[in-house]
Structure 1
Amino acid sequence: MPYQYPDATASRRITELDIERRALWAGLICSIFGLAAGLIFFAGERPALFGRWSVGLVSAICGATAAASSSAYAFRFILRHREPWLRRIPTWRQLITAIGLILVHAASSVMIILVLFHLFQQAFLGLRLDVLAGGLAVSAVTGLTAYLCLVATARTSAETLSVVLGIFMAAGVLISMLLAEDQGWWRSMFSFLGTSQAGHGSFWTFNLTLIISGLVLAAFTEFLTRDLVLLSRTYRCRPALRRYRLARRLRPRPRIVRWCLVVVATAIVGIGMVPVNVSTQVHSGFVQMASVAMIILLAGTAVLLPGYPAVFHMMSMAAVAAVWAAFILWHDWSYYNLTGFELSVVAIMFSWISVFIRTTAAMTRDGEERNQARLAEESQLPAKS
């Protein structure tokens, strides 16, 4: 059954001012919650900025709670009204999308808060706060986190979600590298960071980053598919290609693109849930599944995404060639080890995905502008008598 997305006018319009107003209320309520939590946790204590039951730890806990709550509220009562097509997809897909958005904002908040307070502790060595100062610090961090996460969730699009995904994955992997107890982890493989031998901090950070990233990629796929469906409705074969029968039969294939990305998202979740030391075969199977799906996307853009600029298809072919060259450098020439090959492939894939998203967003905006211009012209035409 084809995808069906209703027009935005089918639901009550939520303005930008509504988002800001609700975000301010969320920030105020969560700041009060953070103040109460800080006063309770720090009663009779002089907490440090970072460490066990420090201002940073309590702020991270309260910030994660505020981020999850505000993101859930924004998805349920704002985003689903701003993007009415979300209400038409199956409930289980709505749930996966919501879970991905909630988890990525909560996890990002925890990482940012802990890193910032760790840096502050290094800058103000030996500083301890009293109960009031500690409570106010937690209150400020919690309120700001709630405000930012509600705004970010309410204004989610394929383009913004791709940026969130890229930053979150890079930050999570970098932190897991820094937390690795074995400093020579890179001599083995990239997946070593997700094993218990790398240390508990690296193990949990790396695997949770992959699991949450897979869920976010699944949520991102919904928004990207919606843009591709809109493009497929307005697709017209280029005049220069109409003389070719094969070109006239080509149409954008949002469903195939979606399933390829869903397979990649599922594989990323599987890689995080089954570390290489638990089952090498299952872990490798998920890696191969993601690789095959991405190769299909890269090699099939001319068939799956007709109408895109020729330079985009050339870049897709160049990405396939770059992956093959990276494999030759590792397997045949031993230029670098397996970790170098894995990092090269990840960099190539995410670079292509970033270009794909930005190109799709640009084409969607251009299509919307053309539709608005056409409607404006039609409204100015004199009515027939």
Structure 2
Amino acid sequence: MNLSLTEEKSSRRGSRRSEKKSSSPDSLRVLMRGAVAAESRALAFAFVALVVGIVVGAFVFAGEPAALSGARSVGVTAAFLAGVSAGVAFATNYLRLVRSTRPRPLSIGVRWRIGVDTVALTVSAVIVVSLLTGTVFAVLQLAFRDFALDPPAAAVVTGAVAAVAAYLLTGAASQLTTRAIANLLAMLLVSGGLASMLSARNTTWWQHNFSALGSGDGFSPYTFNITLVFAGLVIITLTHHLTHDIQQLSAPDATSRIRVLRAWLITVGALFAGVGMVSVDEAEPLHIVIATTMSVAFAGLIATSTWLVPWLPRSFTFVSVIVLAAFGVVALLMWPIGYFNLTAMELLSSILLLTWLLLFVRAIAATADDDQPGGLMSD
């Protein structure tokens, strides 16, 4: 950590200590009021989702028992309603959070960025909630074979699932952090990827490459490509929050490096979305160019991360070196050794890159936590 950064943090810590002495009780009361209001909104959204879910369930399941999974089942209906209720709750409360934390008036560019961020995060949350709900009911159907619910019970279960989704997503959006956005990105990629693999019509897709999941028509390629597109948008949204956090922790002369980091991450996010927008069966050469460029850009970001953010802990620098080394080993095991096929190389590389990004976000968040009043850096 350089001298200017240390002096800046010392000044900040001194002002924070004085603020803490003079206004800590008032700040605590404001925080408590905000938490109580968020909890009240969560309960209100959950109640509305419960009522709507029961009404819709009563209409869908009228007159006949409903299986837990399959066509016109409790699982499909609950997944749809959970996604809708989660989307409405998340978007409403995220916009409320943004309005309460941003100065007015907002420029046209900022409004557009907020709109894109809202759509990216909301759709990602809907995808995760819907896929998770459908998966849970599919597993339950395997555990309770030939089991079916009568119409009233099916309607109540559907409403309850929608209520839980609305409640949880209201709380998540009301206190959204950079770390939470990174976790959402991970859940989106894992849930979307697994759903595509399990529903793929071509059971030998893994003998070709990962991109084969996005070729053709049907649920599997649609889910795979949509997941990649919105994962790219979430990376861009994550960039806005992450660079803001870094700006608060860095010295004034670090602005140029932060701009480079922002442009670099936005480029990675745009390329990530491009991989999903250009499927391998439609334009294979362009798809390969985009995917390769994204991988190289991501590896370059890992290699230069300690220069872009020089105050990162040494433990994270060590992790970055390990990830780069592992990335190189995986590439060598595919070519020239030939131990891995292309699918294995893509899968392992994706896991390494996603793991590094999550750890990068957590390292920034941990530093920010220590820099808060009451943290290690505020002593």
- 5 Å-filtered alignment, 1:94-113, equals 94-113=114-133
CA shift for structure 1 position 184:
1.9
CA shift for structure 1 position 33:
0.7
Runs of 4 or more consecutive aligned structure 1 residues displaced over 3 Å after TM superposition: 82-89, 249-252, 370-374
2:175 corresponds to 1:139? no
Aligned residue among 326, 333, 343 for 1:329: 333
After superposing the two structures, state which structure 1 stretch, 109-118 or 214-223, moved more: 214-223
After superposition, the C-alpha distances for 1:281-303 in whole angstroms (9 at most, x for unaligned) are: 22112212312321231121232
**Structure 1 residues 258 and 330 mapped into 2: Cα distance closer, same or farther (>3 Å)?**
same
After superposition, the C-alpha distances for 1:165-188 in whole angstroms (9 at most, x for unaligned) are: 112211211121111222221111
C-alpha distance in 2 between matches for 1:85 and 1:320: 43
- 5 Å-filtered alignment, 1:41-190, equals 41-82=60-101, 90-190=110-210
CA shift for structure 1 position 251:
6.8
3-state DSSP of counterpart to 1:90? helix
**Structure 1 residues 169 and 86 mapped into 2: Cα distance closer, same or farther (>3 Å)?**
farther
C-alpha distance in 1 between matches for 2:119 and 2:284: 28
C-alpha distance in 2 between matches for 1:322 and 1:119: 35
Q: Is the CA contact (8 Å cut-off) linking 2:370 and 2:377 kept in structure 1? A: no
2:313 corresponds to 1:309? yes
Q: Is the CA contact (8 Å cut-off) linking 1:79 and 1:154 kept in structure 2? A: no
CA shift for structure 1 position 68:
0.9
CA shift for structure 1 position 313:
2.5
After superposition, the C-alpha distances for 1:91-144 in whole angstroms (9 at most, x for unaligned) are: 111111101111111111111111111122222222222221111111101111
Q: Give me the identity figure in percent.
A: 29
Aligned twin of 1:343? 347
Aligned residue among 362, 365, 371 for 1:361: 365
3-state DSSP of counterpart to 1:369? coil
C-alpha distance in 1 between matches for 2:305 and 2:134: 41
C-alpha distance in 2 between matches for 1:218 and 1:301: 17
Aligned residue among 242, 260, 267 for 1:224: 242
Q: Is the CA contact (8 Å cut-off) linking 1:232 and 1:252 kept in structure 2? A: no
Aligned residue among 220, 225, 235 for 1:207: 225
**Structure 1 residues 66 and 137 mapped into 2: Cα distance closer, same or farther (>3 Å)?**
same
- 5 Å-filtered alignment, 1:222-261, equals 222-233=240-251, 253-261=257-265
Aligned twin of 2:7? none
CA shift for structure 1 position 87:
6.0
Q: Is the CA contact (8 Å cut-off) linking 1:250 and 1:303 kept in structure 2? A: no
C-alpha distance in 1 between matches for 2:263 and 2:148: 52
After superposing the two structures, state which structure 1 stretch, 37-46 or 365-374, moved more: 365-374
Q: Is the CA contact (8 Å cut-off) linking 1:46 and 1:131 kept in structure 2? A: yes
CA shift for structure 1 position 252:
7.2
Q: Is the CA contact (8 Å cut-off) linking 2:370 and 2:376 kept in structure 1? A: no
Aligned residue among 175, 190, 213 for 1:193: 213
TM value normalised by structure 1: 0.84
3-state DSSP of counterpart to 2:371? helix
Aligned twin of 2:268? 264
Amino acid corresponding to residue 285 of structure 2 in structure 1: Q
Aligned twin of 2:19? none
3-state DSSP of counterpart to 1:368? coil
After superposition, the C-alpha distances for 1:235-260 in whole angstroms (9 at most, x for unaligned) are: 7xxxxxxxxxxxxx877722211111
CA shift for structure 1 position 46:
2.2
**Structure 1 residues 29 and 125 mapped into 2: Cα distance closer, same or farther (>3 Å)?**
same
CA shift for structure 1 position 314:
3.3
Structure 1 residue runs of 5 or longer lacking an equivalent are 1-6, 236-248, 378-385
After superposition, the C-alpha distances for 1:319-371 in whole angstroms (9 at most, x for unaligned) are: 22322222222111112111111112112111211221111001111122379
Aligned twin of 1:290? 294
Q: Is the CA contact (8 Å cut-off) linking 2:247 and 2:255 kept in structure 1? A: no
3-state DSSP of counterpart to 2:202? coil
C-alpha distance in 2 between matches for 1:250 and 1:322: 30
C-alpha distance in 2 between matches for 1:49 and 1:129: 8
**Structure 1 residues 87 and 220 mapped into 2: Cα distance closer, same or farther (>3 Å)?**
farther
C-alpha distance in 1 between matches for 2:51 and 2:97: 23
After superposing the two structures, state which structure 1 stretch, 249-258 or 290-299, moved more: 249-258
After superposition, the C-alpha distances for 1:60-104 in whole angstroms (9 at most, x for unaligned) are: 121111011101111112354256699677111111110111111
Amino acid corresponding to residue 218 of structure 2 in structure 1: H
**Structure 1 residues 40 and 231 mapped into 2: Cα distance closer, same or farther (>3 Å)?**
same
C-alpha distance in 2 between matches for 1:201 and 1:155: 33
**Structure 1 residues 149 and 258 mapped into 2: Cα distance closer, same or farther (>3 Å)?**
same
**Structure 1 residues 85 and 102 mapped into 2: Cα distance closer, same or farther (>3 Å)?**
farther
- Give me the CA root mean square deviation: 2.6
2:27 corresponds to 1:23? no
C-alpha distance in 2 between matches for 1:367 and 1:328: 41
**Structure 1 residues 357 and 83 mapped into 2: Cα distance closer, same or farther (>3 Å)?**
farther
Q: Is the CA contact (8 Å cut-off) linking 1:44 and 1:131 kept in structure 2? A: yes
After superposing the two structures, state which structure 1 stretch, 209-218 or 61-70, moved more: 209-218
Q: Is the CA contact (8 Å cut-off) linking 1:79 and 1:156 kept in structure 2? A: no
